[in-house]
C-alpha cells in the first residue's frame, strides 16, 4: 500500500515535469486513442452509476471512442477513486459522489490518496438536496414545531441516517447544531430501512433524498418538513426550504453531489475537452429531465467551480466532523 502510494507520487511528479517541458497541448488533439474508461465506485444500478451512464452514452458519440463504465464498488466510493488512480493510461477517469473527495480522507484510515494533490475535478454532474421527513402522525407540522418538540425533550428524539459519516448523518448534525437541539443518532444502511423505521414508529425523523420519501408521502404515511437546498427543489416544489426558517440561518445548505474526476497527472487540455463535452451533455433538456425523475438536478460548470465546491464542502463537513468527534 505505502509502496504504490509513493510510486504514484513519483509518477505524478514525473508526468507534471514532462508536461511542463513539452507544453502538452498538442497531445489533446490526438486524444482519445482508445476506449475511455470511467470507474464508478458504486454497484451497477445505483444512482452514481446511473448518472455516470446517462453521460457516458452521449460522451462516446462525441469522443468517437467507446466509453466503458466500470463498477468498482466499495468503501463508500473510495475503492473506485483508488482504482482510477491506479490506472495510468490517460484514458481512465472517475465518477464519484462527494464523500470520497470531502469527508472520506478524514473518516478512512490509509485512504491512499490526497484529494488536493492527486485528483483534478472535471465537472459537477448533478446535485440533490435532502428533505427532513417524519411519520404522518408526528405531532409537528412544520420545522418550528419539530424544533420545539426536540427542545422540550433533549436527546429523547431519535433520527436515522445511512451510516456514520454519511450525507444524511452530517446534514442532521449540522442541522441540530445550528438549531441548538439534541437528538440520538441511529445508523442504518439504506434509506429504505430508515423510511420503514420512521413509518413503523421506531425512530422519529431522518434526512433523505426527496425520491426516497416521495412515495410514502403520497401514500399518506410520511410528511416532509423542510428541504436543505437554498431554493425549492423542482421534484418537490411544495416543501419549504430550511434556510431562513424557524431561526435557521439564511445560508444553511446541505447537498449531495456527483462529479466526474481525473487523476491530477492528466493533460490539462484533455480535462478541458472532457469538461466542455460533459457540460454540453448536461445542458441537454432530455438528460436533465431523466436526472430529475431520479431526484437529481443536472449541473455542469467549469472544472474550477468543482474545485471550489470540493474545498468549500471539505471545510463545512470538516467542522461538523470535529463536533461529532468532540461529543464522543
Partner 1 sequence: MFDGLMQGLATALHPSVLIYSLFGVFLGTFVGVLPGIGAMATISLLLPLTYYISPEAALVMLAGVYYGSQYGGAVASILLRLPGTPQSAVTSLDGYPMARDGRAGLALFTSMISSFTGSMLGILVLVVLAGWLADLATKFGAADYAAMMILGLVAAATVGSDSPAKSLAMVVLGLLLGCIGTDVNTGTQRLTFGWAELMDGINLVALAMGLFGVSEVIANIRKADRHGPPGKVKFRQMLPTGAQMRQIIPPALRGTAVGSFFGALPGTGSTISSFLSYALERRIARQPERFGHGAIEGVAAPEAANNSASITAFVPTLTLGIPGDPIMALMLGALIIHGIQPGPMMLEARPEMFWGLVVSFGIGNLFLLILNLPLIGIWVSMLRIPFRWLYPAILIFVCLGVYSVRGSTFDLVMVAGIGAVGYLLALARFNPALLLLGFVLGPLIEVNLRRAMLIARGDPMVFLERPIAAVFIIAAAGLLAMSLWQAIGRRQSRP
Stretch of 218-226, 237-245, 252-260, 311-319 contacting partner 1, by CB under 8 A: 218-226
121 bridge partner residues: 261
Is 297 one of the binding residues for partner 1 (CB under 8 A)? no
Distance in Å, CB of 176 to partner 1, minimum? 17
Least distance (Å) between residue 195 CB and partner 1 = 8
Distance CA 158, CA 139 (A): 15
Smallest gap from Cβ 291 to partner 1, in A, equals 11
What's the distance, CA 33 to chain centroid?
Answer: 31
* Residue 247 Cβ vs partner 1, minimum distance, rounded to whole Å: 29
Q: Provide the minimum distance between the beta carbon of 175 and partner 1 in the complex, in angstroms, as a whole number.
A: 20
Interaction with partner 1 in 158-197: which residues (CB under 8 A)? 158, 163-165, 184, 186-190, 192-193, 195-197
C-alpha cell at 180: 441548538
Specify the stretch interacting with partner 1 by CB under 8 A; choose among 45-53, 140-148, 274-282, 310-318.
Answer: 45-53
Cβ(278)–Cβ(59) below 8 Å: yes
Verify binding: residue 45, partner 1, rule CB under 8 A: yes
Cα–Cα distance for residue pair 210/16, rounded to 1 Å: 43
The residue within the footprint of partner 1, chosen from 13, 16, 17, 219 (CB under 8 A), is 219
Region of 251-259, 269-277, 280-288, 290-298 interacting with partner 1 (CB under 8 A): 290-298
Residue from 21, 64, 200, 237 touching partner 1 (CB under 8 A): that is 200
**C-alpha 94: how far from chain center:** 13
Told to check if 18 binds partner 1 by CB under 8 A, we report: no
Residues 57-76 that bind partner 1 (CB under 8 A): 57, 69-75
Residues in the chain: 328
- Residue 53, strand partner residues: none
- Which string of b and e fits 148-163 if b means at least 16 CB within 10 Å? ebbeeeeeebbbbbbe
Count CA atoms closer than 13 A to 52's CA, side-chain side. Answer: 30
C-alpha to C-alpha distances, 75 to 68, 97, 148, 165, 173, nearest whole angstrom: 22, 12, 37, 12, 22
Show the site string, 90-129: x = touches partner 1 by CB under 8 A, - = not: -----------------xxxxxx-----------------
Please work out the total of residues on this chain that contact partner 1, with binding judged by CB under 8 A: 56
Quick one: 152 or 192, whose CB is closer to partner 1? 192
Contact 229, 129 (CB under 8 A): yes
Contacting partner 1 within 225-284 (CB under 8 A)? none
Binding mask 122-161 for partner 1 (x = CB under 8 A): ------------------------------------x---
Q: Given the C-alpha cell 458504486, which residue does it identify?
A: 42
- Could you tell me which stretch among 24-32, 50-58, 146-154, 298-306 binds partner 1 (CB under 8 A)? 50-58
List of residues contacting partner 1 (CB under 8 A): 1, 43-47, 49-50, 53, 57, 69-75, 78-79, 82, 107-112, 158, 163-165, 184, 186-190, 192-193, 195-197, 199-200, 202-203, 211-212, 214-216, 218-219, 221, 290, 293-294
Amino acid at each position: 500500500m505505502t509502496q504504490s502510494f509513493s510510486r504514484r507520487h513519483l509518477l505524478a511528479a514525473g508526468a507534471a515535469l514532462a508536461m511542463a517541458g513539452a507544453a502538452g497541448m498538442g497531445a489533446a488533439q490526438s486524444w482519445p486513442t482508445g476506449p475511455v474508461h470511467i470507474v464508478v465506485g458504486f454497484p451497477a444500478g445505483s444512482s452514481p452509476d446511473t448518472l455516470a451512464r446517462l453521460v457516458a452514452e452521449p460522451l462516446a458519440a462525441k469522443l468517437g471512442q467507446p466509453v466503458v463504465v466500470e463498477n468498482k464498488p466499495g468503501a463508500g466510493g473510495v475503492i473506485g477513486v483508488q482504482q482510477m488512480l491506479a490506472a495510468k493510461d490517460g484514458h481512465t477517469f472517475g465518477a464519484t459522489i462527494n464523500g470520497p473527495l470531502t469527508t472520506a480522507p478524514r473518516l478512512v484510515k490509509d485512504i491512499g490518496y490526497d484529494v488536493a494533490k492527486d485528483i483534478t475535478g472535471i465537472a459537477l454532474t448533478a446535485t440533490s438536496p435532502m428533505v427532513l421527513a417524519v411519520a404522518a402522525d408526528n405531532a409537528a407540522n412544520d420545522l418550528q414545531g419539530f424544533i420545539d418538540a426536540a427542545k422540550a425533550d433533549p436527546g429523547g428524539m431519535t433520527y436515522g441516517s445511512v451510516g456514520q459519516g454519511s450525507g444524511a448523518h452530517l446534514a442532521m448534525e449540522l442541522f441540530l447544531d445550528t438549531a441548538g437541539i439534541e437528538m440520538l443518532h441511529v445508523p442504518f444502511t439504506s434509506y429504505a430501512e430508515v423510511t420503514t423505521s420512521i413509518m413503523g414508529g421506531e425512530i422519529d425523523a431522518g434526512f433523505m433524498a426527496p425520491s426516497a420519501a416521495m412515495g410514502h408521502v403520497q401514500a399518506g404515511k410520511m410528511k416532509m418538513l423542510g428541504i436543505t437546498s437554498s431554493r425549492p427543489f423542482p421534484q418537490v416544489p411544495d416543501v419549504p426550504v430550511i434556510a431562513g426558517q424557524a431561526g435557521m440561518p439564511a445560508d444553511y445548505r446541505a447537498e449531495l453531489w456527483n462529479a466526474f474526476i481525473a487523476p491530477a497527472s492528466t493533460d490539462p487540455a484533455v480535462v478541458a475537452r472532457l469538461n466542455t463535452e460533459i457540460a454540453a451533455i448536461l445542458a441537454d433538456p432530455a438528460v436533465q429531465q431523466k436526472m430529475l425523475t431520479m431526484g437529481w438536478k443536472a449541473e455542469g460548470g467549469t472544472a474550477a467551480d468543482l474545485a471550489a465546491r470540493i474545498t468549500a464542502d471539505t471545510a463545512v463537513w470538516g467542522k461538523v466532523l470535529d463536533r461529532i468527534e468532540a461529543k464522543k
